[in-house]
C-alpha cells in the first residue's frame, strides 16, 4: 500500500469517526440546558407562580405563570437555548408591567424539568402548556405564541396546529438543519439530523398574523434567516429589523413596545 493510499485511508477513517461522534452526540451539541431550578420569587417575580406540568410519559415540566390583567392577552413563551427560565425574568417583568399574562415553559433538562430534550418531546410538552391555558379559561384568540431563537422552532409548529391570536418570532432560524450546516459544513447533517425544526416549511401552515423580530447585527442567527421566514409566511405578516440589535438584546432596542403595539393592533 502506497503512502498516499495510507494517508487517504487514515483521513477517511478519521472522518467516519468524527461523523459517528456527531451523530451519537448531536442532541448534546444542540441543547445547552441549565438544570438549576429557581422559583419565580428567586428571580424577582414574586407575583408569578411556578406550575409543574406532568406528561403522559412521566416527565415533569417546570413552567412559570403570570396572570393577565382583565382584558389583556397571554403570551405562551418558548425560550432560547442557553440558560433557563431565570434568564427570561427581566423580559417577563416587562410584559407583566403592561398587564400581559405569560406562561413560560422550560424544556426537559432545563430549569428543574426532568427528562431529556428533543423536538418531539418539546412539541408534546408545548401542546400540554397550550391546553393548560385553555383549561384555565384563556380564550384561544387571547393566546399569542412567542418563540425566542431555539424556541421559534416550537412556536411555529404550535401556531400551525392550535388556534391562537398570533405568532411572534424573536431571532428565528429557517431550520435547525440550515444552522447545523452553517456550523459544520464538512458533515452530512441534512440527512442525519434528528431534531430538524423546519420553520421555513411549517410557517407556511400558520394562518394567524405573524411578527418577526431580528437584529441586523445578530452574530448567532443571521438576519437573512428572519427575512427568509418573513418571505415564506402568509399574510398578514410583519418583519421588524433592529439596526443595532444583536441576538439577545432586542428588548433594549424597543422590541417590547413593538410587540405590545402589534398585539394591540391585531386584537383591535
The residue among 198, 204, 158, 205 whose CA lies nearest residue 181 is 198
Cβ proximity of 168 and 211 under 8 Å: yes
pLDDT of residue 25: 52
Within-domain flag for 12: no
pLDDT of residue 12: 46
Structural domain that includes position 243: 31-267
List, in order, residues 6 or more apart from 90 with CB less than 8 Å away.
Answer: 251
CATH number at residue 98: 3.40.50.1820
Within-domain flag for 25: no
Residues of the chain with pLDDT under 50: 8-21, 23-24
pLDDT of residue 9: 47
Cα dihedral sign, 125-147-23-178: positive
| Cβ-based neighbour number of residue 227 at 10 Å | 15
Instruction: State how far the Cα of 91 lies from the Cα of 84, in Å rounded to an integer.
Output: 13
Instruction: State how far the Cα of 119 lies from the Cα of 125, in Å rounded to an integer.
Output: 10
Within-domain flag for 54: yes
Within-domain flag for 80: yes
pLDDT of residue 5: 52
Number of domain units in the chain = 1
| Cβ-based neighbour number of residue 139 at 10 Å | 12
Within-domain flag for 118: yes
Instruction: State how far the Cα of 60 lies from the Cα of 166, in Å rounded to an integer.
Output: 27
Cβ proximity of 146 and 203 under 8 Å: no
pLDDT of residue 184: 73
Cα dihedral sign, 52-32-86-103: negative
pTM (two decimals): 0.91
Within-domain flag for 24: no
Within-domain flag for 7: no
Within-domain flag for 116: yes
Amino acid at each position: 500500500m502506497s503512502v498516499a493510499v495510507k494517508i487517504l485511508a487514515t483521513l477517511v477513517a478519521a472522518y467516519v469517526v468524527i461523523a459517528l461522534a456527531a451523530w451519537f452526540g448531536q442532541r448534546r451539541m444542540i441543547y445547552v440546558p441549565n438544570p438549576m431550578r429557581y422559583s419565580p420569587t428567586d428571580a424577582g417575580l414574586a407575583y408569578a407562580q411556578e406550575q409543574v406540568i406532568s406528561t403522559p410519559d412521566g416527565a415533569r415540566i417546570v413552567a412559570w405563570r403570570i396572570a393577565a390583567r382583565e382584558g389583556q392577552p397571554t403570551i405562551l413563551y418558548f425560550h432560547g437555548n442557553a440558560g433557563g427560565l431565570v434568564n427570561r425574568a427581566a423580559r417577563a417583568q416587562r410584559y407583566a408591567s403592561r398587564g400581559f399574562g405569560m406562561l413560560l415553559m422550560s424544556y426537559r433538562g432545563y430549569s428543574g424539568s426532568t427528562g431529556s430534550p428533543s423536538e418531539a418531546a418539546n412539541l408534546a410538552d408545548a401542546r400540554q402548556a397550550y391546553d393548560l391555558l385553555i383549561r384555565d379559561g384563556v380564550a384561544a384568540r387571547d393566546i399569542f405564541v412567542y418563540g425566542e431563537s431555539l424556541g421559534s422552532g416550537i412556536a411555529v409548529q404550535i401556531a400551525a396546529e392550535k388556534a391562537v391570536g398570533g405568532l411572534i418570532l424573536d431571532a428565528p432560524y429557517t431550520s435547525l438543519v440550515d444552522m447545523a450546516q452553517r456550523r459544520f459544513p464538512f458533515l452530512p447533517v441534512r440527512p442525519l439530523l434528528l431534531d430538524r425544526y423546519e420553520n421555513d416549511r411549517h410557517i407556511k401552515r400558520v394562518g394567524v398574523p405573524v411578527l418577526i423580530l431580528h437584529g441586523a447585527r445578530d452574530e448567532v442567527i443571521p438576519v437573512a434567516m428572519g427575512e427568509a421566514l418573513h418571505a415564506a409566511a402568509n399574510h398578514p405578516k410583519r418583519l421588524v429589523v433592529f439596526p443595532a440589535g444583536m441576538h439577545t438584546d432586542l428588548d433594549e432596542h424597543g422590541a417590547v413596545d413593538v410587540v405590545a403595539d402589534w398585539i394591540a393592533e391585531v386584537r383591535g
